[in-house]
Structure 1
Amino acid sequence: MNIGKIIKITEDTAYIGYEDGSLKEIPIESCDFEPSIGDYVEVYGDIAIKVNSKKSDTAKIDILNKLSMVSKINIFVIVTMAIIMISISIYSNENILEVMVLTTVIVSLIIIVLNLSFIIISSIKKNEVNKKVPSRLLL
């Protein structure tokens, strides 16, 4: 089974690249699907069959995993403050515009303070790690 990825499409040819660096040209009319760049296909001679790759399915999940802890905390703070301020504006007789401006200012200040503290903490930890590395390894 040769699984490759469509890397280029011309008017009548699809170019399929493999992990070993090889390239194969397949006529588009031999595909039983509408080929698009990035599709994973199994190639049998001159016939290409589209496969559902776990790589493409997990790419969407990896986006959430790649978010740093700071980003996750920032999103949590924004959503929490928005919910609190909207509920305050609904239950009180205050102007919604004033509450939204106040929310924006408060959330901005909280995020600035959190990000600065995370930067300071990460730089301190980075310095501690650099001190533990022997100087002969740095050359």
Structure 2
Amino acid sequence: MTRPFRVLLVDDNPADLLLAQEVFEEHGAGLTVTSCASGSEALRHLRTGPHPDVVILDVNMPVMSGFEVLQAIKEDPALVYIPVVMLSTSSQPGDVARAYTLHASSYMVKSTSFQKFVDQVDAFVNFWRESRTPSWPDRQLQ
């Protein structure tokens, strides 16, 4: 049996976390979502827990921004291979460029419409679930 598809969701807004978790739960038992409310919590989880298939990272967070978390992930040899998708309400070209400069795998602008957000999550899950290989990320790069 294939292990569940694992997502780490990082967002400082409790309402956004709850909404996203509810939408992800629609995908059933084949998907496990772990949430963190801060960048430092996310880095602790990544360094101690099982690695997710993909991280969804909010850009605008206090103390440690999503960009700072992304940079820390990409500078850590044990984490660098984990895909990171930036999620933001900002579509500012500077934010998008900064995310890709720091090696984000993707940049999603949060939809303000609930149904469109559900569609975004569905497309995200389908893409990343189909993109993983059977041993990913359990067998790290050598």
TM over 0.5: no
TM-score interval, smaller chain: under 0.3
Higher helix share: 1
Structure 2 length normalisation: TM-score? 0.22
| Greater Rg over alpha carbons, structure | 1
- More relative contact order, 1 or 2 (CA 8 Å, 6+ apart): 2
Structure 1 length normalisation: TM-score? 0.22
